[in-house]
Amino acid sequence: MTPSDVDGIFAPFQYDFMQRAFFAALVVGALCSAMGTYVVLRKLSFIGDGLAHASFAGIAIAYLRGANFYAGAAVATIVTAIGIGFVHRRGKVSLDTSIGVLFTAAFALGIFLMSRSTRSTVDLQNYLFGNILGVSAYDLAMVLGLGLAVAVIVGALWRPLLYTSFDPVVAEAAGIRAGFVDYALLVILAITIIVSLQLVGIVLVAALLVTPAAAAAQLTKRFVPMMALSCTFGVFAAVGGLYASYELHASPGATMVLLATLVFFCALAVAATRRRMLSATRRPPRAS
């Protein structure tokens, strides 16, 4: 390998905006994939897409009021998350139905408000598809701060989150307040999604939340190894996808999601091969 080849490999790191983008990808990749472990275990894959779309109502309100878009998105997403938990637990409505009703209502509210606006239409492409290359030092500090806050909350609720993810009935019997834990998880997921909007946008955020954890679930059923694998896959997809997008001149968010999907199918192939090998070793020998 020549010096020019080495320079080419490290070329993206010469720019300040790329350094910020890689650091943001590292943080968000780890954060989303770690929280995605709970999402996959609880069969809440729809929640990421739902809360991401619900944020559009907050973006629309913030635009009309001249406020910060991400602050508006955060409020709308957290309110929707709490609403989903309330309708599910108090209204005795299934969780997927609660998600479907409330996220479509929030998304429709955003479209309704934007359609009635007499001001010039704002370009929402960055919020739909992400703009990680535009991450500022302030955005980076916010991402890191929210990521640390989520890590602290998850650490404090580690045991209740773990028990309620596997068996909420037994957790309730053991004295764990499953309702509070469910609300807390929904709010944590809402914060995670808000952090990720700058990275991949509303349209693709659900994939980054679910796909790495789904890949890890193919390889292990133990919680801690699953979360560790999920984080590894998530960071690889986020950082590797960003690097690949630089080389391929493609959308960073879309490239990250496609790389995560490739990892998922590789894990699926490994799991299928392992099952076949295990089945072959257990098969009784044929009579001669």
> Which percentage of the chain shows pLDDT scores above 90?
33
pLDDT digits (tens, 9 = 90+) for 151-191: 899 999 999 998 888 888 888 888 888 889 989 999 999 88
Return the structure tokens found at 207.
Answer: 């994939």
Average pLDDT over residues 91-110: 89
148: amino acid identity, one letter: L
Look at residue 213 in the predicted model and tell me its pLDDT.
94
Return the structure tokens found at 46.
Answer: 């729809």
Asked whether 53 and 106 are in contact (CB, 8 A), the reply is yes
DSSP state of 174: T
Q: CATH topology for 17-281?
A: ABC transporter involved in vitamin B12 uptake, BtuC (1.10.3470)
234: amino acid identity, one letter: G
pLDDT band at 196 (very low <50, low <70, confident <90, very high): confident
Q: How far apart are the first and last CA of the chain?
A: 57
**Which of 206, 67, 196, 189 lies closest to 135, judged by CA?**
196
**Which of 231, 185, 190 lies closest to 212, judged by CA?**
231
Q: Which string of DSSP letters, residue by residue, matches 84-125?
A: HHHHHHHS---HHHHHHHHHHHHHHHHHHHHHT--SPPP--H
Say what the pTM is: 0.86
Asked whether 23 and 140 are in contact (CB, 8 A), the reply is yes
How many angstroms separate the CA atoms of 28 and 22, rounded?
10
Q: State yes or no: pLDDT of 51 exceeds 90.
A: no
pLDDT digits (tens, 9 = 90+) for 241-274: 999 999 899 988 889 999 999 999 999 999 999 8
Return the structure tokens found at 129.
Answer: 């598809």
